[in-house]
Amino acid sequence: MSPKYHQMDLDDQTSINKLRDFVKEQYGGIDVLVNNAGIAFKAASTAPFSEQATVSCATNFYGTLNVCNTLFPLLRPHARVSNVSSMASQMSIAKCSDEIKAKFKDPKITMDQLKALIQQFIDASQTDSHQKQGFASSAYGMSKVGVTVMSFIQQRELNSDPREDIVVNACCPGYVDTDMSSHKGTKTIEQGADTPVYLAMLPPGTTSPKGNFVSDRTIQNWG
């Protein structure tokens, strides 16, 4: 394979638009989209939680959503989308109150409702009332709750899209030996890439996994 590279900053809509225009002009459409970009504050970070919540959600959730909203019109029939989430989303949803958990897990939740929930978490973090309001105290984890639920919603929306057989899944790559994990991860980069690539290469007509949360090529009972 001869991969080509194109700069894109998911915090910059102009940058996202440039990638969209390049892909549209050069290739006409997209068959595979793996949304892997993201950030995590280190455990030793001295940044206040309010800042961590705002920045983490801006990049990991809103940034990924903006990329999807910009690039999804280019998806061809039978396209595959892997949204790289994290087991941190599983751990964080488990620590939310029953009321908040029910809202995130509502099978009819809309994207606007999801954005409102993530914004509520960010707003609550500014006054250190996020736990009192029922959210987990993990900026990274809550941002990835957003990515996971976003994926469920996207699949539900695409089920009625005229382009046939587009499949979206969220996944956890595992604890990988990268800069993000301060090289404490037990998986190699190749092992971490396995599940996102597996989901990106699902055969035509796949009905499962489809709109799921997947780890080690296995559908997880999320939440």
Would you please indicate which residues are annotated as catalytic (active-site) residues? 140
Q: How far apart are CA 196 and CA 211, in angstroms?
A: 14
Residue type, 124: A
The DSSP output letter for 73 is G
Query: How many other CB atoms sit within 10 Å of the CB of residue 39?
Result: 17
Half-sphere exposure of 87 (CA within 13 A, CB side): 10
* Whether the Cβ atoms of residue 72 and residue 64 lie closer than 8 Å to each other: no
Half-sphere exposure of 215 (CA within 13 A, CB side): 15
Number of H helices, E strands in the chain: 8, 5
Q: How far apart are CA 41 and CA 140, in angstroms?
A: 8
DSSP for 23-34 reads HHHHHSSEEEEE
